Amino acid sequence: MPADIQTQTFHGQPALVLTTAGGARAVVSPFGAQVLSWSPAGGGERLYLSPDARFDAATAVRGGVPVCFPQFAGLGKLPKHGFARTLPWTVSGQRCGDDYALVTLRLTDDDATFALWPHAFAAELTVLLENDRLELELEVENTGHAPFAFTAALHTYLAVHEVENASLEGLHGLEYRDAADGDRIKRESGPALTVEGEVDRVYHGVTRPLLLRDAGRSLGIHVDGFPDVVVWNPWEHKSATLPDLPDKGFRHMLCVEAAAARSKIQLDAGEEWYGRQSLVVL
């Protein structure tokens, strides 16, 4: 069978299901332009989706790859992580080749977004599925007549077998803001990051590819255009405050997010920006 894109129901909501000839599969929800599932050819699920996630087309879905725009976390006056993750996006493009499937979703300003954030914009998320990789590209265009600035992230929840046994390589020597320790600025000293408690860090100036090792599996994480990488695991106490994450859920996830968080991206009228995160099975 060639690559294919079908509309199906996923947790009661419409979703696009992308498949490749080799057997890779991804599920993308137009609500929030959120990738909810990804399994490469011949492999198991690589994204964490909370079994307690809510699918009511209003609440942010816990897991997969939420798109945070035009604000990352609480870095401003907007709702946490902005409004893009809780709005319906339009499917603006679909294409299949011999060995890939690609969809593009689009969100533009309307009265509701304008009331929160008075700017004219067009945001597009393109999801490319190949046998051994998933690539997400967020493009933002200033369609208005005045400059604006934003922060953003692809808040990727990676599935891990047991987070304490996973390790993330490639951050050595980088400066980070430790949101789990009073926003102190620190420098990564170890060759690999391991998780043994709450981790909530914004690493700056990430240019090298990262490598996630977990239970005999390896995943390459490439970030382009986004200057920062956020690593997040809520661990036990924080996790208890999240109603849509089960008690032991934090053990099976590690967020490695492509982000523009430290400095805002500035766009003049008519300008465009893009940032990309690629996940590659190694």
Stretch that binds ligand TA6, among 33-41, 48-56, 73-81, 220-228 (CB under 6 A): 73-81
> Whole-angstrom Cα distance, residue 36 to residue 91?
16
Q: Note if the bond before 66 is cis, omega within 30 degrees.
A: no
Q: Note if the bond before 88 is cis, omega within 30 degrees.
A: no
**Closer residue to ligand TA6 in complex, CB, 200/214:** 200
The amino acid sitting at 109 is D
Is 257 an interacting residue with respect to ligand TA6 (CB under 6 A)? yes
Is 200 an interacting residue with respect to ligand TA6 (CB under 6 A)? yes
Nearest residue to 149 via CA among 241, 38, 269, 32: 269
Question: Considering just the CA atoms, what is the radius of gyration of the chain in Å?
Answer: 18
- For ligand TA6, the binding residue among 41, 128, 159, 179 (CB under 6 A) is 179
**Closer residue to ligand TA6 in complex, CB, 16/60:** 60
Is 73 an interacting residue with respect to ligand TA6 (CB under 6 A)? yes
100 phi/psi in degrees, rounded to 5 = -150, 160
Report in angstroms how near the CB of residue 259 gets to ligand TA6 at its nearest: 7
- For ligand TA6, the binding residue among 174, 230, 265, 281 (CB under 6 A) is 230
155-174 footprint of ligand TA6 as x/- string (CB under 6 A): x-------------------
> Whole-angstrom Cα distance, residue 89 to residue 106?
5
**Strand, helix or coil for residue 114:** helix
Please state whether 73 falls in left (phi above 0), alpha (psi between -120 and 50) or beta.
left
Report in angstroms how near the CB of residue 250 gets to ligand TA6 at its nearest: 11
Is 53 an interacting residue with respect to ligand TA6 (CB under 6 A)? no
Which residues neighbour 205 within 8 Å (Cβ) at sequence distance 6 or greater? 174, 175, 227, 228
Report in angstroms how near the CB of residue 261 gets to ligand TA6 at its nearest: 8
Catalytic (active-site) positions: 155, 257
- For ligand TA6, the binding residue among 38, 50, 81, 138 (CB under 6 A) is 81
Q: Which residues bind ligand TA6 (CB under 6 A)?
A: 60, 73, 80-81, 155, 179, 200, 230, 232, 242, 255, 257
